[in-house]
Amino acid sequence: MTTIALQFEATNAGFFENFGNEFVRFTTAPQLLGWELEIALNAHPACKDLIDFHYEPMSGKGHFILPESSLYPVGRHTLRYPLPNVVTQRTVYRWQDQIRDETHTHIATGVHGFESLCCSEMNAEKVEEAEMSLEVKVTCPLCKIIWQDCRAFEPSDFIDVDQLQNAAMPEVKIIGPKTSTENILKYDAISLRLIQSVIPDYRSHGDSNAITLRGEAIKQKHSILNSWPSITLGEAEMFREDLSLKDVRIAGLSMPDFLTLLFDSRSRAEWDKFISANSFASS
């Protein structure tokens, strides 16, 4: 959580008597975003419902009016800035041939301020605003995971676009999916959470021994997959069969190519071209 200090100055004598409002001046850190500062101040109990807000980024000085109030903040105050922005949405989407109807409060992001950090709107068939409670807390588990991952970064880890254009960039050798398959398909190199999120859990409602045997048969055919647990490979093959019902070309992918499609970000980004190029069902 980030905070800033504000120093509120003494108010103009007689302003409330003359105008029925209180005129408040303050000094804080320079180079803040005025609209974010106004929102943060409006959440302060002593500054609620402020109007006519002005802030000078160069000097850090500003002022506003508290309408119909003779109460005003004085002295030094600590303010949370910027305020966390959340959005509560009800989303209806399809996952593994089942309709999911969920209501969550997400971390809000984007230009408009109402897109969720986890992009839940992208795959939803229906999105609508919803109310959950007066004390708004983030309830979306995926937003929390992304937030936890982002906390490792600091401002020094980023570079401006202008600096990037002027910097001498090292030569990058682009390796296609075929030549990089061996590295991509090392089981230990893939996040376990990603594997568990992508490949459905068939073992909990199926014959785990039969699924393991399927995986062992895959290893005999594709030695490149020997680092994978047999039962996970069996589940991956069952997943490929399920997806083939929606796109027959997927049935024509070898298991190494199918796993590359699932876990190589470059291949996923060009998924349609990747499937057409590697599936014998496309020829």
Does residue 112 sit in the same domain as residue 76?
A: no
Query: Does the pLDDT of residue 215 top 80, yes or no?
Result: yes
The CA distances from residue 203 to 148, 210, 227, 236, 244, in Å, are: 30, 9, 19, 11, 20
Q: What angle do CA 275, 280, 282 make, to 5 degrees?
A: 60
The count of domains in the chain is 3
How far apart CA 212 and CA 159 sit, in angstroms, is 47
What is the radius of gyration, based on Cα positions, of the chain? Answer: 28
Structural domain contains residue 166:
no
Looking at residue 144, its pLDDT comes to: 92
Q: Are residues 139 and 111 in the same domain?
A: yes
Is it the case that residue 134 has pLDDT exceeding 60? no
- Token digits of residue 31: 């180079």
> Could you say which of 51, 80, 109 is where a domain stops?
80
d(CA 117, CA 110) in angstroms, rounded, equals 8
d(CA 140, CA 145) in angstroms, rounded, equals: 9
Range of the domain at 63: 3-80
Q: Beginning with the edge strand found earlier in the chain, give each strand of the sheet holding 86-95 in spatial order.
A: 115-116, 98-109, 86-95, 124-129
Residues 6+ apart with CB under 8 A from 66: 21, 22, 24, 47, 49, 50, 51, 72
Q: How many Å from the N-terminal Cα to the C-terminal Cα in the chain?
A: 56
Query: Could you tell me if residue 173 is inside a domain?
Result: no
Residue 174 forms part of a structural domain: no
Say whether both 243 and 277 belong to one domain: yes
Average pLDDT over residues 247-256: 88
User: Crossing angle for the helix pair 230-244 and 255-263, nearest 10 degrees?
Assistant: 90
Amino acid at 16: F
The answer to whether residue 157 sits within a structural domain is: no
Kindly indicate the confidence band of residue 265, based on its pLDDT and cuts at 50, 70 and 90. low
For residue 98, list its beta bridge partners: 95
Of the residues 33, 57, 80, the one at which a domain ends: 80
Backbone angles phi, psi at 107, to 5 degrees: -70, 125
Is residue 161 one of the residues assigned to a domain?
no
Among residues 63, 80, 97, the one where a domain terminates is 80
Q: Quick one: average pLDDT of 119-144?
A: 75
Give the list of residues 6+ apart from residue 140 with CB closer than 8 angstroms, or none: 104, 105, 106, 107, 116, 117, 118, 120
Q: Are residues 61 and 91 in the same domain?
A: no
Write the pLDDT tens digit of every residue in 146-159.
Answer: 999 998 888 888 88
Please check whether residue 171 lies inside any domain of the structure: no
Confirm whether 169 is domain-assigned. Answer: no
> 90 and 75, same structural domain?
no
In this predicted structure, the answer to whether residue 5 has a pLDDT above a threshold of 50 is yes
Residues 72 and 56 in one domain: yes
According to the model, what pLDDT value does residue 283 have? 43
Query: From the CB of residue 267, how many other CB atoms can be counted at a distance below 10 Å?
Result: 23
Please tell me whether residues 106 and 185 are part of one structural domain.
no
Average pLDDT over the chain reads 81
277 and 186 inside one domain = yes
* 62 and 104 assigned to the same domain: no
Both 102 and 120 in a single domain?
A: yes
pLDDT of residue 157: 87
Q: Is the pLDDT of residue 205 over 90?
A: no
* Same domain for 130 and 202: no
Q: Is residue 275 part of a domain?
A: yes
Check if the beta carbon of residue 264 is closer than 8 Å to that of residue 184.
Answer: yes
Find out whether 54 and 64 touch, Cβ atoms under 8 Å.
Answer: yes
Q: Tell me the whole-structure pTM to 2 decimals.
A: 0.44
Higher per-residue pLDDT: 271 or 251: 251
What is residue 21's predicted lDDT score, i.e. its pLDDT?
Answer: 80
Residues 28, 97 within the same domain: no
> Angle formed by the axes of helices 230-244 and 208-221, to 10°?
90
